[in-house]
């Protein structure tokens, strides 16, 4: 459901933003010209009558916004988790014995061969995000891989076994 927010200028006072909840309750925020904010809850029987007016300090307004934003973000992440069911992340070390030491990421053909993606490389405390195919591995690199269990196992085998030819 798309929520419609109505903005009303309040001459000499500031501006009021109102919205109607799905349950039929109307609430709003009055932003005064002097910086003060009031959270307003309207009477369900008389939409023009104020049932509650709660003044908010800057810190309280920020905390309320953080709470509402955090719960929305958690809901979105939960939905993303459901969409990404079966998608895993794993870190794979490039050992000194790997034939990929000194070689390019593109030489692994990891995504083509396994369906998994190398999304980052951790090197000496730095994160290299989305390395391109010309990126060269060094011993001690830790490769961050995203994919299915089968894909992650495939990339691990490629990098550990040093199978450059596939």
Q: Tell whether domain 88-160 is in CATH 3.40.800.20.
A: no
Answer whether 48's CB lies under 8 Å from 26's CB: no
Cα atoms in the 13 Å half-sphere on the side-chain side of 78: 6
Residue 47 φ then ψ, to 5°: -65, -10
Encoding tokens for residue 85?
């069911």
Span 59-79, average pLDDT:
67
**For the chain, what are the domain ranges?**
5-84, 88-160
Tell me the per-residue pLDDT of 20-67, one tens digit each, with 9 for 90 and over.
888 888 899 898 888 889 999 998 888 778 899 999 988 888 778 767
Cα atoms in the 13 Å half-sphere on the side-chain side of 48: 0
pLDDT at 164: 44
pTM for this prediction: 0.50
Q: Using CA atoms, how far apart are residues 120 and 129, in angstroms rounded to an integer?
A: 4
């Amino acid at each position: 459901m798309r929520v419609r927010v109505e903005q009303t200028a309040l001459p000499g006072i500031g501006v009021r933003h109102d919205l109607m909840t799905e349950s039929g309750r109307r609430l709003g925020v009055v932003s005064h010209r002097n910086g003060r904010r009031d959270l307003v809850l309207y009477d369900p029987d008389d939409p023009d009558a104020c049932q509650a007016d709660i003044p908010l300090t800057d810190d309280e307004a920020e905390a309320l916004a953080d709470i509402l934003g955090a719960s929305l973000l958690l809901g979105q992440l939960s939905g993303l988790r459901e969409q990404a069911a079966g998608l895993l992340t794993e870190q794979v070390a490039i050992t000194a014995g790997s034939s990929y030491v000194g070689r390019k990421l593109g030489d692994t053909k990891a995504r083509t061969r396994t369906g998994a993606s190398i999304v980052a490389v951790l090197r000496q405390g730095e994160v290299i995000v989305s390395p391109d195919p010309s990126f060269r591995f060094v011993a001690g690199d830790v490769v961050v891989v995203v994919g299915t269990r089968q894909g992650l196992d495939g990339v691990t085998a490629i990098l550990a076994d040093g199978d450059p030819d596939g």
